């Protein structure tokens, strides 16, 4: 994502009541990419409190006991395996002895293979992926290339990352995204990381008319843009209800509703339950204990 890297040593957003901390990618140079072990990346790689990233994260877990909590699902650790965390997702670790590698990069790093953004978003909605030998080898090769910092390493790293994404998609049986126009691609990128709550707001940000955006998204995805915006809005409301102590009124405001009563009607229509009922079943300390298939 644009403008979301910061120099190494920059403090992450402080934890505050009612706020999900947003972590930005720390880099020592100009490359919006980093790779290392949990230890070398630093303590935030094992953060045990709910937070978001502005960047993509691919994690290879080789050891550890406990769970990884992503949005509303809790995944028990069963190393070795991979997981993908997309920008904007809320996650934290509830684990001991966590070890392995972490690959961090922004959307900008995918300039050679922009379609990988859609694949990564699809992978981020899946449970743990088995870590085949070639994935372990690719991550080790990527780490060695990153540490060497030789001439042209950025090109090599982009190529290795692309191969890793393709192999992970094959393992998860994720189909490659259909070729889409730039309008649909920008809409998908903004949905992943921006808090926009209407088709008009997306159209204004992209610089097209709402009608043109609707046509482009429908052609690319087969679904109306308005339906996808509602889906994003509901998902963000669920995150805030489950992972913060914000009041229903405050959650409503965060997802673009000036009238809490209208938000409650919207939420019930989309989910089948009230915000209060959803929070009681999925509150800050209560998770869905889903298991990988």
The enclosing domain of 137 has a CATH number of 2.60.120.280
164 in the same domain as 151? yes
Range of the structural domain that residue 48 is part of: 5-172
What's residue 172's pLDDT? 84
d(CA 47, CA 270): 32
230 in the same domain as 216? no
Q: Tell whether 293 is covered by a domain.
A: no
Model pLDDT for residues 7-22, shown as the tens digit of each residue: 555 555 555 555 678 8
What's residue 16's pLDDT? 53
268 in the same domain as 207? no
160 in the same domain as 207? no
Q: Tell whether 292 is covered by a domain.
A: no
Token digits of residue 147: 């540490």
Angle, CA of 246, 3 and 108, to the nearest 5°: 115
135 in the same domain as 72? yes
283: phi then psi, degrees, rounded to nearest 5: -70, -175
What's residue 290's pLDDT? 36
254 and 244 in contact (C-beta within 8 Å)?
no
Q: Is 74 exposed, middle or buried (0-12, 13-18, 19+ CB in 10 A)?
A: middle
Q: Tell whether 276 is covered by a domain.
A: yes
Q: Tell whether 291 is covered by a domain.
A: no
30 in the same domain as 127? yes
Q: Is 93 exposed, middle or buried (0-12, 13-18, 19+ CB in 10 A)?
A: buried
90 in the same domain as 58? yes
Residue 279: which of 239, 242, 237 has the closest Cα?
A: 242
d(CA 266, CA 280): 18
159 in the same domain as 25? yes
| Domain end call among 172, 196, 215 | 172
Number of domains the chain is built from: 3
Residue pLDDT tens, the chain, 293 long: 344 555 555 555 555 555 678 888 877 767 899 999 999 998 889 999 999 888 999 999 999 999 999 988 888 998 988 999 988 889 999 999 999 999 999 988 998 888 888 889 888 887 678 777 788 999 999 999 999 989 999 999 999 999 999 999 888 888 766 555 688 888 888 887 778 899 999 988 888 889 989 998 998 888 999 999 999 999 999 999 998 889 999 999 999 999 999 999 999 999 999 999 999 988 643 333 333 32
What's residue 219's pLDDT? 87
DSSP class of residue 227 equals H
167 in the same domain as 184? no
d(CA 154, CA 158): 6
141 in the same domain as 41? yes
25 in the same domain as 164? yes
| Domain end call among 153, 172, 191 | 172
Residue 188: which of 206, 173, 172, 169 has the closest Cα?
A: 206
188 in the same domain as 162? no
Model pLDDT for residues 89-121, shown as the tens digit of each residue: 899 999 999 999 999 999 889 988 888 888 898
């Amino acid at each position: 994502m644009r403008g979301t890297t910061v120099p190494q040593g920059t403090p992450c957003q402080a934890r505050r009541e009612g706020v999900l901390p947003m972590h930005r990618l720390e880099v020592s140079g100009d490359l919006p990419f980093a790779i290392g072990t949990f230890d070398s990346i630093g303590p935030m790689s094992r953060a045990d409190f709910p937070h978001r990233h502005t960047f993509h994260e691919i994690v290879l877990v080789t050891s550890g006991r406990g769970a990884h909590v992503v949005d509303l699902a809790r995944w028990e650790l069963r190393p070795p395996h991979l997981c993908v965390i997309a920008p904007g997702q809320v996650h934290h670790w509830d684990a001991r002895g966590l070890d392995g590698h972490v690959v961090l990069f922004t959307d900008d790093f995918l300039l050679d293979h922009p379609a990988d953004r859609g694949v990564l978003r699809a992978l981020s909605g899946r449970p743990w992926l088995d870590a085949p030998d070639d994935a372990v080898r690719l991550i080790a090769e990527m780490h060695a290339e990153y540490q060497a910092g030789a001439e042209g390493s950025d090109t090599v790293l982009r190529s290795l990352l692309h191969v890793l994404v393709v192999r992970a998609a094959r393992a998860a049986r994720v189909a490659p995204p259909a070729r889409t126009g730039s309008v649909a691609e920008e809409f998908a990128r903004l949905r992943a990381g921006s808090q926009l709550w209407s088709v008009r707001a997306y159209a204004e940000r992209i610089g097209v008319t709402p009608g043109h955006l609707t046509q482009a998204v429908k052609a690319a995805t087969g679904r109306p843009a308005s339906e996808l915006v509602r889906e994003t809005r509901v998902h963000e409301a669920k995150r805030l209800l489950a992972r913060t102590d914000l009041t229903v009124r405050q959650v409503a405001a965060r997802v673009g509703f000036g009238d809490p009563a209208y938000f409650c009607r919207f939420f019930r229509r989309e989910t089948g339950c009230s915000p209060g009922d959803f929070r009681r079943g999925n509150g800050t300390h209560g998770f869905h204990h889903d298991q990988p298939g």
